[in-house]
Structure 1
Amino acid sequence: MPKPLLMDHDGAIDDLLSQLLVLTMPDVELIGVTVTPADCYIEPALESAYKLLQLMGREQVPLGRGDYYGINAFPSEWRARPEIINALPLLINLPKSPDPYGYLSAPDLIIRQLSTATEKVTILMTGPCSNLVMALEKAPELKAAIAEIVWMGGAFRTTGNVQTFQHDGTAEWNVFWDPVCSQKLFSYELPLTLIPLDVTNHVPVTKKFLSTLASQIDHKLSNLTGQFWALTLDTIPSYHYTYFMWDILATSYLAMPEQFMIETAKANVSTRPPNAGQTYLDENGYTIRFATDVNVAYFYEYLLAQFRQ
C-alpha cells in the first residue's frame, strides 16, 4: 500500500521539481501540498503547484496556502521564478487554477489531513518548517500521527549558503528564514531526518546531467524538467554560487533511503545573529538524524528513470 505523504514546499524551481518527482512515486500517496511564501510569491507558486497536479491528473490533491512570512526574507529576485514556470509551453494553456485565496490555510490543512489519516503520515518539507510547527503548536496531539519528517535543511560540517548582512555565513536558507520555528521543531524530538548542505553539496545541477536529460526529450516529464532546470543556470551569479539539487535530493530519500548515509546526533539551532539559523552539533541538544553522504551515481540515474515515465 502506498504510504501517505504531506508535502510542504516554498514554490522555487527545485521545490516544484520535487513535487513532480513525488507524483511519479508509486509507493507514495500524496494527501496534501502546502506552500510557504518563502522562496516564492504565494499566488504564482500556488498556481504552479496546481498546474503540476493537473499535468499529472492529480488535481484532487488539496492545496494549502501559507500566510506567514517568516523572519528573514529570501531575495526578491529568487522569489519570482514561478511566474516563469507558469508560462512554460506545457503549463501555460492548462485550465485556470482556483483562486489562491480560496485555499485553506497551510497549518489548518496539515491539521485536517493528519487528524483524518488512517495511518501515520510522512511529512516532506523542502522549504522552511513554519507551517508544520504552527500546526503542531495549535494541535500538539497530532505529533503522534507523524511517521517521519524529511526536511531539506541545515548545514552541520560545512559552511552555510546565507550571504547577507549581519550574518557569518553558517546557516542554510530554509532554517534561516525562520530560526525560531526551526529551533522548536528540533525541540519536539520527532522522527526528524534532515538532508542538509553536507550532502546536497554532492549533487550539483551539471551540464552533463542536463544533456543526458535532454536526450529523453520525447518523454513529457523529461522535456518539462529539462526546461525547469535550464532556468536555474542564471538564477544566482555562477562565480560565487552553484545551483544544487537541494530539494530533489531530499525528495529522493523517500524512494531510496538505503542509498544515503545517515548519522544520529544531538543538535540545536541558533535563533539570533550573527549565526541565526545555524544548525550545530551540541551534546546538550536534541536528537535528530541527518544525511552525510549519498550514492551520487544512483541518484542521478534514479532521476533520469523517473522522468522517463
Structure 2
Amino acid sequence: MPKLLLMDHDGAIDDLLSQLLVLTMPDVQLIGVTVTPADCYIEPALDSTYKLLQLMEQEHVPLGRGDYYGINAFPGEWRARPEIINALPLLINLPKSPDPYAYLSAPDLIMETLTKATEKVSILLTGPCANLVLALEKAPELKEKIQEIVWMAGAFRVPGNVQTYQHDGTAEWNVFWDPISSQKLVSYELPLTLIPLDVTNHVPVTKPFLSALATQIDYRLSNLTGQFWALTIDTIPSYQYTYFMWDILATSYLAMPEHFTTERVKANVSTRPPNAGQTYLDESGYELTIATDVNVAYFYDYLLAQFKR
C-alpha cells in the first residue's frame, strides 16, 4: 500500500525538483500539493507545479494556492525563478495551469485532503510551514490524521543561511520566513522530523554530480533535472552561498530513511530579533527528531537512478 503524501512547497527550483522526485517514488501516492508564496511568486510557481504534474501524467492531483505572505520576505530575485522554469523546452509548450485564482486556498485544501483520507497521511514541507499551521489552527482535530511530517528546516549546530539586516545569522530561511508559525508547529509535538542545514550542508550541487546526470541526457527526467540544476549555478551568487540540495535531501528521506542518522531532541524556535527563526536545542523545549548525517554517496546514486526512470 503506497504512502499517502501531501506536499507543501514554495516554488523554488529545489522545491520543483523535489516534486519531480516524489512523482518517481513507487511507494508514495501524492494526494495534494499546496504552494506557499515564499521563495516564489505564486502565479508562475503554480504554473510550474501544474506543468510538472502534467509531465508525469498526474494532473489530477489537486493544487492549493497559498495566500499568506509570512513575516520576512525572501529576496525578489530568488522568487522569480519559476518564470525561467516555465520557459524550459520540456515545459514551455505544455498547457498553462487553470486560473491560479480559482484554486482552493492552501489551508482549505490541506483540511479537505486530511478529512477525506481513509488512512493517516504523511506531510512533506520543503518551504515554510505556515499553510499547515493555518489549517491545523482551523481544524486541530486533523492532527490525528497525520502519520509524520518531514520538514526541510532549521540549523542547530551550524550557522544559519539568513544574511539580512537586524539578524545575527543563526536562522534558516524556511523558519525565518514566519518564525511564529514555525514555533507553533514545533510546539504541537507532532511526529516531526526536521532535515536541517546540519545535514543538507553535506550535499552541495556539484559539477561532478551534474556531469554524471548529463551522461543520462537521453532520459527525459535526467535531461529536465539537469537543466533545473544548471540554473542553480547562479541562482544565489557563489561569493555569498553554495547551492545545496536542501529540499531534495528532505524529500529523499521519505524513500531512504535508513540511510540517515537522526537524533531525538528537545528544541524551540526564537520568534524575535536578532535571532528570529533560530532553531535551538532546549531541554525545556519540545520533542522532535532532527537528521544529523546521511550516506552521501548513496544519496547521489539514488537521485541518478530515480531520474533515469
Which residue of structure 2 lines up, in the alignment, with residue 227 of structure 1?
227
Counterpart Cα distance in 2 of 1:67 and 1:107: 9
Q: Shift of residue 36 of structure 1? A: 0.0
Q: Percent identity?
A: 84
Look up the SS of the partner of 1:131 in the other structure. Answer: helix
Which residue of the partner structure matches residue 130 of structure 2?
130
1:23 aligns with: 23
Say if 2:65 is the partner of 1:86.
no
Paired residue for 2:272? 272
| Cross-structure match for 1:33 | 33
Deviations 1:25-81 (A, max 9, x none): 000000000000000000000000000000000000000000000000000000000
What is the alpha-carbon distance in structure 2 between the residues aligned to residue 240 and residue 92 of structure 1? Answer: 31
1:103-252 matches, cutoff 5 A:
103-252=103-252
- Shift, 1:284, TM fit: 0.2
Shift of 1:96: 2.5
Aligned counterpart, 1:10: 10
Structure 2, unaligned runs of 5 or more: none
* Root mean square deviation of aligned Cα: 0.3
Q: Which residue of 2 aligns with 1:57?
A: 57
The residue type equivalent to 2:121 in the other structure is: V
Residues of 1 paired with 2:239 and 2:111: CA distance?
Answer: 43
Query: How far did residue 240 of structure 1 move?
Result: 2.4
User: Normalising to structure 1: TM-score of the pair?
Assistant: 1.00
Aligned partner of residue 289 in structure 1, secondary structure: strand
Aligned to 1:42: 42
Distance in 1, matches of 2:44 and 2:13, equals 12
Aligned partner of residue 109 in structure 1, secondary structure: helix
Name the CA distance, whole Å, in 2 between partners of 1:225 and 1:55: 13
TM-score by length of 2: 1.00
CA distance in 1, matches of 2:200, 2:95: 35
Task: Give the Cα separation in 1 of the matches to 2:184 and 2:19.
Answer: 26
Q: Secondary structure at the match of 1:100?
A: coil
**Paired AA for residue 276 in structure 2:** A
Runs of at least 5 residues in structure 1 that lack an aligned partner in the other structure: none
Which secondary structure does the structure 2 equivalent of 1:101 belong to? coil
**4+ residue runs of structure 1 moved beyond 3 angstroms?**
none
For the residue of structure 1 that corresponds to 2:241, the secondary structure is coil
What amino acid does structure 1 have at the position aligned with 2:145? Answer: A
Taking the aligned partners of 1:234 and 1:192, their CA distance within structure 2 comes to 33
Equivalent position SS for 1:118: coil
Query: How far 1:95 moved relative to its partner?
Result: 1.6
CA distance, structure 1, for counterparts of residue 96 and residue 86 of structure 2: 11
Q: For 1:65 and 1:240, how far apart are their aligned partners in 2? A: 31
SS in 1 for 2:101: helix
Counterpart of 2:11 in structure 1: which amino acid? G
- How far the C-alpha of 1:177 sits from its partner, in A, is 0.1
| Other-structure match for 1:298 | 298
Structure 2 partner of 1:72: 72
Secondary structure of 1:224's counterpart equals helix
1:246, 1:34 → 2: CA distance?
A: 19
Aligned-partner Cα distance in 2 for 1:175–1:78? 17
Distance 1:139 1:207 in 2: 46
Task: Quote the offset at 1:239 in angstroms.
Answer: 1.6
Give the CA deviation at 1:237.
Answer: 1.2
Alignment partner of 1:5: what SS? strand
Q: Which residue of 1 aligns with 2:286?
A: 286
What amino acid is aligned across from residue 124 of structure 1 in structure 2?
L
The 1-side partners of 2:302 and 2:52 are apart by: 20
Mapped partners of 2:102, 2:48: distance in 1:
16
Corresponding letter in the other structure for 1:232: T
Distance between the aligned counterparts of 1:165 and 1:96, measured in 2? 38
| Count of matched residue positions in the alignment of Structure 1 and Structure 2 | 309
